[in-house]
């Protein structure tokens, strides 16, 4: 696949540098959406996280309304709505409303993960019981409400036909469910850097244009060629369509790109190990940060499925990953400390990938 055939999109996580900077983080998300629209990216998605001091994006359905008002043409979506917390009917209403406000521009991505620790997930559940085991049924209900497969109650406003439901995930379960429901699939390699490329192959082979149950007897040990189909419309229910979401750190020189990546890794490691208290390390601090064995291992574990470096280096890695996973689209998440560096990374990525 050439770079000109590969669709490029964006995932933004509204990261705050401190817990008191949520307003700034959200306004930077709005600015990034306008910037990415200007650069020519296909879609701009926002994530859902709860009880994370450094993440301002806890309600994507509200943020998407603001993003729609701030932009004109770029597709907007949830990456994603954590469906086990909610009523499928209410989510159908929310996104039908958004899709009527911004016709032809809304994507509804759903996932099973809690987007939080389990104590927070329990509080999010109206009855104190998270419904992760009911996720396949919730997806079925949601699709039914949006596609008039469920006669009562009616969703108001009426859902437009051009409202695709996307399956998000990083495991065999999500790939199988996307195939079974005939949904486009977004594989989150930035969350699971060890995600198996054969998940996309598995999804494509078992994709069902209708909702009948697929045969799930074969496993990821099956070996066939990846054969992505380009120039397809995702969400048409007739053909498989896949996105690979990866971290990208692109800069004018390799040393600066590595510092941007190192800053992100240090902050993520500090969060996972309970050291951050929601306060991010700056690139200036990261340059002299002690890299112990655990942190070094953590950083190396993420290197295989992300693109870091100059535009030429990033372009080569993005194309290699797109080919290895056999996807139709790459979605870049670029959690960089300074807004100017974040904007420059997306600018350089688009310039590099626009080359023939």
**CATH code, 30:** 3.20.20.30
Q: Span 234-259, mean pLDDT?
A: 94
Predicted confidence band at 4 (pLDDT cuts at 50, 70, 90)? low
CA dihedral (327, 251, 342, 267) in degrees, to 10, reads: 90
Output the CA angle 107-32-60, nearest 5 degrees.
40
Residue 262 lies in a domain: no
Question: Would residue 267 count as lying in a domain?
Answer: no
**Which segment of 74-83, 113-122, 301-310 scores lowest on mean pLDDT?**
113-122
What's the pLDDT at 150? 61
Residue 256 lies in a domain: no
Model pLDDT, residue 151 = 61
Reported pTM: 0.91
Question: What is the per-residue DSSP string for 291-355?
Answer: --HHHHHHHHHTSTTEEEESHHHHHHHHHHHHHHHT-SEEEEE---SSHHHHHHHHHHHHHHHT-
- Quote the percentage of the chain above a pLDDT of 70: 91
Q: Which two tokens stand for residue 108?
A: 């509804």
* pLDDT-derived band at 355, boundaries 50, 70, 90: confident
State the pLDDT confidence band at 248, using cuts at 50, 70 and 90.
very high
At 218, list the tokens. Answer: 């074969």
Q: Is the pLDDT of residue 214 over 80?
A: no
User: Is 293 within a domain?
Assistant: no
Say yes or no to pLDDT of 228 above 70. Answer: no
Query: What pLDDT is attached to residue 223?
Result: 37
Structure tokens at 208: 């069902």
Domain presence at residue 78:
yes
Across the range 154-163, mean pLDDT stands at 90
pLDDT of amino acid 113: 84
Least confident of 6-20, 70-84, 122-136, 303-317: 122-136
Sheet strands (E) in the chain: 7-12, 43-46, 75-82, 106-111, 165-169, 185-188, 242-250, 306-309, 329-333
- What does the alpha-carbon distance between residue 229 and residue 329 come to, in Å, rounded to a whole number? 10
User: How does residue 87 score in pLDDT terms, banded at 50, 70 and 90?
Assistant: very high
Mean pLDDT, residues 252-280? 94
Q: Quote the CA–CA distance of 331 and 43 in Å, as a whole number.
A: 8
| Residue 103 banded pLDDT, cuts 50, 70, 90 | very high
Q: Can you tell me which residue has the tokens 């996580």?
A: 13
pLDDT over 90 (residue 185): yes
User: Region 192-196: what's the mean pLDDT?
Assistant: 94
Closest CA to 72 of 27, 26, 34: 34
Of the two residues 341 and 57, the one the predictor is more confident about is: 341
Nearest one of 99, 37, 93 to 235, comparing CA atoms: 99
Extended strands (E) in 20-103: 43-46, 75-82
Mean pLDDT of 334-351: 98
- Among the ranges given (34-38, 213-217, 305-309, 326-330), the one the predictor scored with the smallest mean pLDDT: 213-217
Q: Considering the domain boundaries, does residue 313 fall inside one?
A: yes
Q: Across the chain, what does the average pLDDT equal?
A: 90
What pLDDT is recorded for position 345? 98
Residues 33-37 have a mean pLDDT of: 98
Q: Is the pLDDT of residue 321 over 70?
A: yes
pLDDT of 300 above 50: yes
**CA gap 242, 184 in Å, rounded:** 6
Average pLDDT over residues 54-67: 94
Residue 260 inside a domain? The answer is: no
Q: Is residue 242 part of a domain?
A: yes
pLDDT (mean) for 172-183: 96
Q: What does the block give as tokens for 237?
A: 């229910």
Q: Rounded distance, CA 328 to CA 9, Å?
A: 11
Confidence of residue 153 (pLDDT cuts 50, 70, 90): confident
**Count of domains forming the chain:** 1
Tell me what the mean pLDDT of segment 16-40 comes to.
96
Angstrom CA distances, 326 to 43, 131, 182, 198, 283, stand at 20, 32, 18, 9, 34
Q: Is the pLDDT of residue 217 over 80?
A: no
- Domain range enclosing 184: 3-248+306-353
pLDDT (average), residues 278-284: 94
């Amino acid at each position: 696949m050439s770079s000109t055939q590969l669709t490029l999109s964006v995932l933004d996580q509204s990261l705050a540098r401190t817990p008191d900077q949520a307003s700034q983080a959200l306004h930077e998300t709005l600015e990034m959406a306008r910037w990415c629209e200007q650069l020519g990216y296909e879609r701009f998605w926002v994530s859902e996280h709860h009880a994370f001091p450094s993440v301002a994006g806890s309600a994507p359905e509200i943020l998407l309304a603001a993003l729609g008002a701030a932009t004109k043409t770029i597709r907007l979506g949830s990456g994603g709505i954590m469906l086990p917390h909610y009523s499928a009917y209410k989510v159908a209403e929310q996104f039908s409303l958004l899709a009527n406000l911004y016709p032809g521009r809304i994507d509804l991505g759903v996932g099973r993960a809690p987007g939080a620790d389990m104590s927070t997930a329990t509080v999010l559940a109206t009855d104190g019981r998270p419904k992760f085991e009911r996720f396949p049924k919730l997806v079925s209900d949601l699709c039914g409400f949006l596609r008039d497969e469920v006669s009562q109650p009616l969703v108001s406003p009426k859902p437009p036909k051009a409202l695709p439901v996307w399956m998000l995930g990083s495991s065999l379960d999500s790939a199988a469910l996307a195939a079974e429901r005939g949904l486009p699939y977004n594989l989150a390699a930035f969350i699971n850097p060890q995600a198996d490329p054969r998940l996309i192959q598995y999804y494509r082979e078992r994709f069902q244009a209708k909702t009948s149950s697929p045969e799930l007897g074969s496993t990821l040990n099956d070996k066939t060629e990846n054969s992505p189909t380009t120039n397809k419309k995702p969400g048409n229910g007739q053909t498989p369509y896949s996105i690979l979401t990866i971290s990208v750190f692109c800069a004018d020189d390799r040393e600066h790109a590595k510092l941007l990546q190192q800053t992100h890794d240090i902050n993520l490691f500090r969060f996972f190990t309970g050291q951050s208290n929601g306060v991010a390390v700056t690139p200036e601090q990261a340059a002299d940060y002690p890299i112990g064995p655990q942190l070094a291992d953590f950083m190396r574990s993420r290197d295989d499925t992300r693109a870091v470096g100059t535009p030429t280096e990033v372009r080569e890695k993005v194309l290699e990953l797109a080919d290895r996973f056999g996807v139709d689209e790459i979605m870049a998440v670029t959690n960089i400390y300074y807004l100017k560096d974040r904007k420059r990374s997306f600018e350089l990525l688009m310039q590099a990938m626009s080359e023939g």
